[in-house]
Amino acid sequence: MLTRAALKLAILAQSALLARAVSGSAELDACPGYKAKNVSTLGPKLTAELVLAGQPCNVYGTDIEKLALEVTYESSSRIHVEITDPSDARYEVPESVLPRPHANILLSPHTAAIRLNYTTSPFSFSIYRASTHEVLFSTGSHPIVFEPQYLRVKTDLPANANIYGLGEHTDSFRLPTHNYTRTLWSRDAYGVPQGTNLYGNHPIYFEHRTSGTHGVFLLNSNGMDIKINDTEGVGTTIEYNVIGGVLDFYFLAGSETDPTVVARQYAEVVGAPAEVPYWSFGLHQCRFGYQNFIDVANVITNYSAASIPLETMWTDIDYMYKRRIFTVDPDYFPLNRMREIVDYLHAHNQHFVLMTDPAVAYLPGEGYGPFDRGTAADVWLKAANGSSPFLGAVWPGVTVFPDWFNSRTQGYWNNEFAMFYSPESGLDIDGAWIDMNEPSSFCNYPCSDPFEQAREQDLPPARSTLPPDPATPIFGQTTLQKRVDHSHDDVQNPPYHIANFAGSGALSDKTAYTDAIHANGLIEYDTHNLYGTMMSTATHNAMLARRPGQRTLVITRSTFAGAGTRVGKWLGDNFSQWDHLRQSISGILGMAGVFHVPMVGADICGYAENTTETLCARWALVGAFYPFMRNHNADTSISQEFYRWPTVAEAARNALDIRYRLIDYLYTAFHTAHADGTPVLNPLWYKFPKDANTFGIDTQFFFGDAILVSPVLEENTTSVRVYYPDEAFYDFHSLTRTHVKGGGFVELTDVNLTSIPVAIKGGAVLPVRQKGAMTTAELRKTDFEIVVAPALDGTASGSLYLDDGISIVPKTSTIVSFAFSHQKLTVTGTFGHPTDVDVARVRLLGVQVAPRAVNINGKAINKSAVSYDSSKGVLDVTLKTPFNRGFTIQYQ
């Protein structure tokens, strides 16, 4: 981990590197490019040979003379363009990691929403929208460069383009367009500095114009720089600079009216997000630095004493013996006492999660089972010699790393989870937390002697406290593929240097070496960016083997495209700083709104450094609207559990009350996302795509489809400037209506430290619980109330999905639809899963005059069940009717 001073120096050095990289890109426009020959079209497929068009450029190696082009119209909204070297088996992302989508072999290009145009000499191509002929992507004036270790494609876009995605990053949600470089190369990114490569890699961007939104996905896991730059009077360009693999583009048509359509189309390529257990939407608590089992138990009871709902207790690597995975420290975290904690949690309808890192301590001959069993099965990532295991230095000292491409590794991982996390003899965890899976190593490159570096870094670190009295009371396989020949490539120091921020910038610094070899012959140079996602898949499968048929909760740090189909993510090692609170919003919008990893959150109150009472209070309020809500911090920081300060405790109780009342609304959003890829979180422009004022806003967001969250994100202020688009909005607490005609900013004052501005977008019908609860199990016994918030046109709609909350394929489910128009609410559905609760009341908002009569199912309701607040325009109808059938309510 870097010190703050070292971090600043590294940022300055990296900024200089980025500036040099951007300035050199214009020279490549003078390269010859290619000519297209033997062009052939058959149904939805076009093929051609691409032949070098002139004197080779040889800028970062030797230009490849002949390439193969294949264009496939895979659906009416998706075009697949792949450019490869037909004479060489170049690396491509294996289908075992990311399965390819099915193509419609009967599709006619003439019916596609987007289409490809090309010129043969020099070869260039463009993607345009069929309905308007608007060009969305064009290589027209920028030749393609294709070399053994360097690929370059560049496209022109409109000036000041609205570009979103290309993560993982902590920059603004709408990406900067001036001399900006996004580097994709997984690294342990302590402090998550802006403008640098971080833990995950998602080479997808959405571009939004008032005429529509489309997407571009480059399926390539090699390291890359993606440069975005504005040229005055010309426009914006995006330039891909990739150090290996092939050019494998998916172009998504999106929609002219609804930006979320492109998100659904991207889900067709990488997979729709996983559904997670109902309980996982509760509050999670963790820290790196709980000294012993007593600390963990006391946190659980202190949350209860403070009346703050705690759903899941987590434990970081502190519980391990000498930081070795699949162990407990017998002095500090004895197994019998840890099992007592787990049993206590389960008896109170709470849950437990432990950390599991990928690095396994290298301890030959010492009887360490996880290492010995892995060695016997020969599952370790190999060094460049192909025989000895690759060695790194991580928390337990010198380590080996599982090779997720090895066909035996899944069985090994399943077995270790089954043994250590067994309810009978181990710790019965409910979810898994995987970290350090970039993979991270503390070894500085060149790491010629990991044993010496481990000694120098005091790995594993010694305990700083004495162990407690152990009797202290508490609680009252993949297939082989074609080998890629890298014998002539410099995989440690490729000709083109991407802007890797780790250590010295060498690709192998602080991670597994790029020449480390997998069981199927692939090397880390190509697959590095997949390591975290492959560990995620293996861990998901191991958890599924423990509890067959049940949804898993696996939270990871490193992700690649498609990871969200199995796991969730937290945003990494942030700091307790106000700017990191602000950055967390763009981070969750990127993961949930673009990359399809919706179970996402940031470490609330900050991971590193010391938080303050005001920062922690504000962060607790924002964190209640992360899909994944966890308070977590480092062992070098002060304790920051929500109950530590009265103001923070009150803020947490207030925010959690809103969150828990909305959990079924969030659960429904996740079910919809799983069904078709509809985003769980939405930036304002997803809902108001014609309003240019929304394009750059990333300090407000929609939680689900209709809850507008507008937090205070600055220190020492109790006001916030909120943008309201041209629609009715209703304050979540008072239910009063606001409408800024044409859209505009409103200054909200007196937003104290225990409150957060939350509004309901007009046009929504919300099923909310009448009150919060201390656990999600208790919440499910709480009555519903239906809140109707009409749009300016007087209509509203909504839905509710319920099931048992845990089964992958539930035996029963309840699906309810709500529709409101002409002063009438209609509730219909299939009530297969018993709710066992009532609809306590219906709240109709924006009612401008007192109604003359109110009917339920066509019959007049007793006047005592109706109340009207003229100052707020709220009509309340008390029902107390079992929520096992539909009904109607109408007022006149």
User: Helix or strand or coil: residue 345?
Assistant: helix
**What's the CA angle centered on 255, arms 764 and 168, to 5 degrees?**
85
| Euclidean distance between CA atoms 554 and 558, whole angstroms | 12
**What's the CA angle centered on 507, arms 501 and 509, to 5 degrees?**
75
How many helices, marked H, and strands, marked E, lie in the chain? Answer: 15, 47
CB 123 within 8 A of CB 10: no
| Euclidean distance between CA atoms 158 and 860, whole angstroms | 59
Single out the catalytic residue among 573, 641, 698, 705: 573
Per-residue DSSP letter, 133: -
Q: What is the largest CA-CA distance in the chain?
A: 88
Is 438 labeled as catalytic in the residue annotation? yes
Counting Cα atoms < 13 Å in the Cβ hemisphere of 863 gives 4
CB 709 within 8 A of CB 700: yes
Chain mean position to CA 237: 26
Is 714 labeled as catalytic in the residue annotation? no
Backbone angles phi, psi at 103, to 5 degrees: -110, 145
CB 661 within 8 A of CB 769: yes
Single out the catalytic residue among 295, 316, 416, 438: 438
Enter the tokens of residue 477.
């396989």
| Euclidean distance between CA atoms 621 and 718, whole angstroms | 13
Enter the tokens of residue 188.
């342990």
| Euclidean distance between CA atoms 703 and 585, whole angstroms | 11
| Euclidean distance between CA atoms 450 and 513, whole angstroms | 12
| Closest-CA residue to 686 (of 289, 263, 379) | 263
CB 393 within 8 A of CB 459: yes
User: Helix or strand or coil: residue 166?
Assistant: strand
Q: What is the dihedral of CA 354, 358, 364, 369, to 10 degrees?
A: 40
| Closest-CA residue to 221 (of 93, 94, 96, 84) | 93
* Distance (Å) of CA 50 to CA 92, 639, 707: 19, 61, 51
Is 573 labeled as catalytic in the residue annotation? yes
Q: β-pairing, 431-434 with 351-356?
A: parallel
User: Helix or strand or coil: residue 73?
Assistant: strand
| Euclidean distance between CA atoms 251 and 80, whole angstroms | 6
Treating both helix axes as pointing N-terminal to C-terminal, what angle do 663-676 and 646-661 enclose, rounded to 10 degrees? 60
CB 236 within 8 A of CB 229: yes
Task: For residue 323, give every residue at least 6 positions away whose Cβ sits within 8 Å of its Cβ, in sequence order, or none.
Answer: 317, 361, 394, 395, 396, 397, 459, 460, 461
| Euclidean distance between CA atoms 727 and 794, whole angstroms | 11
Enter the tokens of residue 549.
């048929």
Enter the tokens of residue 93.
């992302």
Single out the catalytic residue among 188, 207, 275, 435: 435
Task: For residue 626, give every residue at least 6 positions away whose Cβ sits within 8 Å of its Cβ, in sequence order, or none.
Answer: 584, 588, 600, 601, 602, 604
Q: What is the dihedral of CA 635, 638, 643, 649, to 10 degrees?
A: -120
Enter the tokens of residue 308.
């703050």
| Closest-CA residue to 65 (of 52, 78, 56) | 52
- Active-site residues, by number, are 435, 438, 573
